[in-house]
Amino acid sequence: MSAMDIHEILQYLPHRFPFLMVDRVEEVEPGKRIVAIKNVTINEPFFPGHFPNRPVMPGVLILEAMAQVAAILSFKTAGTKPDANSVYYFVGIDKARFKRPVEPGDQLRLDVQVLRTIKGIWKFAGKATVGEYTVAEAELMCTVRNVA
């Protein structure tokens, strides 16, 4: 189990500001589990519109953060990195539940576990917490596809 700083994360994800949703990986166990952090700040570009009087991180972006963390786990498990000819896609979301709002100043802890992989489709169980509280959970399905 090893940690990853932002420089290593950028090697595994093509996302960049404002869509990079992973600040640090605390631990990764290839083939099993990954735990990562997203620091939520008032400077996020979605907060002025969601919502002006009570900023809340959109639930779909919490799911996106889980998917980005899952992508890192997939590549670490396979011992590869993405290249210009491939894209890591969401192909399904099941059992998504949002339990509490995520606000500026929160630190989102993303815990994603491999449930199975069949024919290039990965299925994960994701859980997002802030402190001791679960804020969201979902099962995610993702795959890598060649685009060139």
d(CA 19, CA 7): 16
∠ CA 95-98-99, nearest 5°, is 120
Residues acting as catalytic residues:
50
Residues 6+ positions from 4 with CB-CB distance below 8 Å: 12, 24, 25, 28, 72
- Cα dihedral across residues 44, 46, 51, 53: positive or negative: positive
